[in-house]
Structure 1
Amino acid sequence: TKVRIEDEKVVRIGKTLEEYDAFDTGSFVCSPAVFAALEQSIAERGDSSLSGGIQVLAGQGKVSTFDVGGSFWIDVDDARDLEAAERSLLAQLKKPADGPVSRYLNRPLSTRISRWLVKSSVTPNQISLFCFLVSVIAAFVFTLEGYWALLAGGVLAQFASIVDGCDGEVARLKFWESDFGGWFDAVLDRYGDGFLLGGLTWHAFAASGTEQPLFLLVGFLAIIGSFVNSYTADKYDRLMKAKFSKGPGIRIGRDVRIFLVFLGAVCNLPLLTLLVLAVLMNLENIRRIVVCYRNEHH
C-alpha cells in the first residue's frame, strides 16, 4: 500500500495513490482509537479495511511513521508471492566469507535442503550432530580396503559438507541463532575433520603395502594444517576483516578442504590428496599470519 508522508506523519494511504513517498510494510502499532476510526471509515466511505481506518486517523494527524530502512519485508497476498518471498529469504543466506566451493556448489544445494528442513521440527543443533555422524561414518569407510570404499567415503564427506551449511541457514530463517549453536557446530566440525583425515591417512598407509612412516607424517601435517586453518579463519575473519581495503578474494577453508578429499577419493589418489592438503593448508596459515601482521603494524 502506498503512503504519502509529511513531517514524518502519514497524510494519505492507499493502493491507487499516484504520488507517494513510501510503502507500508503491513505492520501497524495501533491504540484502541483505531476501532472508532474504522467505524467512521465504514460509515463515511463503506471502507472496512485497516487502510481505511488508518486514513481516518491520518486525516487527524495521528499516524506517525517508522522507517524500517534496509530491513527485509515483502507483501505476501497469494501463493505466488509466498514463493517469491521464500526465494528472496533463501538468497539472503549466502555469506561474504563463503569459500569458492561453498559459494558455487554447497550453498546452492544446502539452501534447497533448508527450504524443506525449515518446515520441519528439526533443530540446527540436530543438523550439526547429523553432519558429524555422517563424517564419522565416512571416516570409518575410509579405513576399509579398496577403491569403492574410498569413493563411498569421499561422497559421504562431501554430502556432510553440503548439509553442514543447513544448520546455520535454518537457524537464521527461524531466528534461532545462538552463540552456543555456532560454537557447537565449530567443535563438531573440528572433530569431523580429524576423523576424516585420520581415516584417509589410514587408507593411504594401508593401501601402500609398504607401511611407510612418511605416509603418517603427511597425514599428520594435513590434520594439523587443517585444524590451524580453522582456528586462524576465526581470528582472520573477526579481527582483521574491518582493516582490509580489498575484497575477500578466494577463501581457503573447510569447504575447499572437504572438496579436495572428495576429488582425491574419486581419482583414487589418497596420498596425493593428503600431500596437497598438508601444503595448501599450512601455506594458507602462514599467509594469514603475514597478512594479519602487516595490517596490524601498518
Structure 2
Amino acid sequence: MGTIETAVEEQKGRMRKQAIAKRRTVNEAERAKAGERLAAATTQALRWFVTEPATTPATNPMANPFAKPTTGRTAKLPTTPITEASEGAIPNSAETTPQKQTEAAANNAAAINRDNEQPEQMRTISLSAGDTIAAYVSMGTEVPTLGLLDALVEHGLRVLVPRLGRGRDIGWSEYLGSRLLRDMPRTSRGGLRPSEPESEALGPDAIANAKIALIPAFAIDLDGTRLGRGGGWYDQALGCLPADALKIGVCWDWELIDGHDAVPREPHDIPVDAVLTPERIVWF
C-alpha cells in the first residue's frame, strides 16, 4: 500500500473511531426511538412507491420522502425543521434552539408552498410485491433497522440482507423476520458481525434485480461519498446492483456532513444517491 493510500486509511480509521465514540453517547431509549422513526419514514414512503409513475408531477414533492427530485433539490421529512448548517455538520434538530426551530419551520412551510405552486417532475420508484430490496441488519451503535426491515416485508417486498463468508466473500439471505435471525460469533479480529437469517444462503447475483439498496455508513458528505465499516465489502457488493438501483446510505443525522470532499474517497468507492436518517432523507 502506497503512502497516499495509507494516509487515507488512517484518516478513515480516525473518523470511524470518532463516530463510534459519539454514537456511544446515545442511550438505549434514544436508540430505540430512532429505530421507530426510521421504520415510520419507510412506511410513509412505501405508500407512494407503487402507484406513481416516473413521469407524473407530484402535487406536493415533500409528501414522498423517497421520490427523487430531478433538479437536485433536497427533500426532507415533513416533520423535520430545515436549519442552516454550521461548523461543518448538519445539526440534529434536537440540538437547535426553540427560536431556530421556529424559524426553520417557517422556512420549511414556505418551501412546501413553493413546491405546491410549481410542481416539478419527480422520479419515483415503482415497486410491486416480490420486488427485491437489498438492506442490512444493524449492529452495535448503528441506527436500529429491524423495524425498517419489518415494514418492507409487511409491504410484500423481498428483503435481502448480507450473509457474510470469509474475507470479502459476498452473500445474501432473505429476511423473514427478526425471530428467524441468529447471532453470529465475532470475527477473527474480534469485530462485531450482524445477525443473519436462517434462510438459504444466496450468491452475489441475488441483488442483480434489486430496486433499492440500503447501506450502513459512519459518515456521508454532500458528494454522496460514504464512510463504511471498512474492508470494502459493500463497495464490492454494490457492483452487483443494476445501474438504475437507488443506493441510500443510512446513518445518524449528525453523520451527514454539510460539505464536499469531507469523506476521503478512493477509486473503488461507489457514491450513494441519498441519505436516510431517523430525522429525514436527503437526495444528492
Same fold per superposition (TM over 0.5): no
- TM-score category, normalised to shorter length: under 0.3
* Between structures 1 and 2, the one with greater strand share: 2
* Between structures 1 and 2, the one with greater helix share: 1
Higher RCO (CA 8 Å, separation ≥ 6 residues): 2
